[in-house]
């Protein structure tokens, strides 16, 4: 699980919700939305279904909240960087590092975000779910625009070279997102090892944008 560390024997309401979100994110990552039931989440929590339904009326509501929480975590990670002075390419590189680290640290939540996007594209949801997912997709699109604006400025500054802004931004973000598909923490992996992985991913994306650093 990620995100939640309980510090008391009697969890608060907020911690109880976070416990449920973390357990459910793990289940959705392992099985997918369709194959995961509230029973699966309850077993992972070693709790009753009633505890889950107390906070989330349905599996769809639970999934949507995990999506929203994953994006909230991403926005929070970028917040200290967005207003930093300096060149756009330097700011983009810091943003990219923070984003890629989120793909590793909060991988189950980020996999739910990805599955939510796929569900939306396939249209494999109810009308009510589509309305909720549409709002969440827009939230994610605004997040992607943070990176888009920086590479647009970096190109204007002569520090990046690419032809189509939308294509370049999508490919770069796909690279930064990639750890959600292949990363797993190795035995004995230290923080510096994880940071090295992040640097390699960001460096690859930066080279794809023909970024000029130094």
- The pLDDT tens digits of the residues spanning 108-167 come to 999 999 999 888 877 766 777 778 888 999 999 999 999 999 999 999 999 999 999 999
Measured distance CA(86)–CA(173) in Å, rounded: 22
The number of beta carbons lying within 10 Å of the beta carbon of residue 109 is 29
pLDDT, residue 125, reads 65
Q: How far is CA 55 from the centre of its chain?
A: 22
- Domain range for 171 is 59-208
pTM (predicted TM-score): 0.88
Locate 176 and state its tokens: 């930064």
Percent of the residues in the chain that have a pLDDT greater than 70, as a whole number: 91
Give 38-42's long-range contacts (Cβ < 8 A, gap of 24+): 38/62
Mean pLDDT (the chain) is: 90
Structure token digits, residue 117: 């996007």
Instruction: Average the pLDDT over 201-208 and give the result.
Output: 97
Is residue 85 over pLDDT 50? yes
Q: Which pLDDT does position 10 carry in this prediction?
A: 37
The answer to whether position 126 is within a domain reads: yes
Is position 145 within any domain? yes
Query: What's the pLDDT score for residue 122?
Result: 79
CATH number at residue 79: 1.10.357.10
| CA distance linking residue 94 with residue 109, whole number of Å | 21
Establish if 195 belongs to a structural domain: yes
How many angstroms separate the Cα of 132 from the Cα of each of 19, 94, 110, 112, 141? 23, 31, 17, 14, 14
The answer to the question of residue 214 being in a domain is no
SS3 per-residue string spanning 29-50 = HHHCCCCCCHHHHHHHHCCCHH
pLDDT at 3 over 60: no
Best-predicted range by mean pLDDT (5-14, 130-139, 172-181): 172-181
Residue 13 has pLDDT above 80, yes or no: no
Of 7-21, 25-39, 123-137, the poorest mean pLDDT is in 7-21
Distance of CA 123 to the CA centre of its chain: 21
Query: How sure is the predictor about 211, in pLDDT bands with cuts at 50, 70 and 90?
Result: confident
Residue 14 lies in a domain: no
Give the whole-angstrom CA distance, residue 114 versus residue 91: 25
pLDDT over 90 percentage in the chain: 75
Q: Tokens 């349905």 belong to which residue?
A: 58
| Residue 17 and residue 52 in contact, taking contact as beta carbons nearer than 8 Å | no
Asked if residue 69 has pLDDT above 60, the reply is yes
In a domain, 128, yes or no: yes
Residue 97: the pLDDT is 98
Total domains in the fold of the chain = 1
Which of 5-9, 22-26, 68-72, 172-176 shows the lowest per-residue confidence on average (mean pLDDT)?
5-9
In a domain, 182, yes or no: yes
pLDDT at 212: 78
Domain assignment of residue 21, yes or no: no
Residue 154, exposed/middle/buried by CB under 10 A (0-12, 13-18, 19+)?
buried
């Amino acid at each position: 699980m990620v995100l939640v560390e309980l510090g008391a024997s009697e969890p608060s309401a907020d911690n109880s919700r976070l416990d449920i979100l973390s357990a459910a994110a793990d289940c959705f990552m392992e099985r997918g939305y369709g194959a995961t039931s509230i029973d699966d989440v309850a077993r992972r929590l070693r709790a009753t279904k009633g505890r889950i339904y107390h906070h989330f009326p349905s599996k769809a509501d639970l999934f949507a909240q995990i999506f929203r929480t994953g994006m909230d975590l991403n926005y929070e990670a970028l917040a200290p960087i967005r207003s930093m002075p300096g060149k756009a390419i330097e700011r983009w590189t810091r943003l990219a590092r923070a984003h890629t680290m989120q793909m590793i640290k909060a991988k189950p939540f980020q996999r739910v975000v990805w599955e939510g996007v796929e569900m939306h594209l396939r249209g494999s949801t109810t009308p009510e779910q589509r309305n909720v997912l549409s709002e969440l997709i827009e939230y994610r699109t605004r997040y992607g625009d943070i990176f888009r604006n920086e590479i647009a400025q970096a190109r204007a500054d002569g520090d990046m070279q690419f032809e189509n802004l939308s294509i370049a931004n999508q490919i770069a973000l796909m690279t930064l997102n990639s750890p959600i598909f292949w990363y797993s923490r190795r035995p004995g992996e230290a923080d510096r090892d994880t940071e090295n992985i992040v640097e390699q991913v960001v460096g690859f994306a930066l080279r794809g944008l023909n970024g000029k650093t130094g």
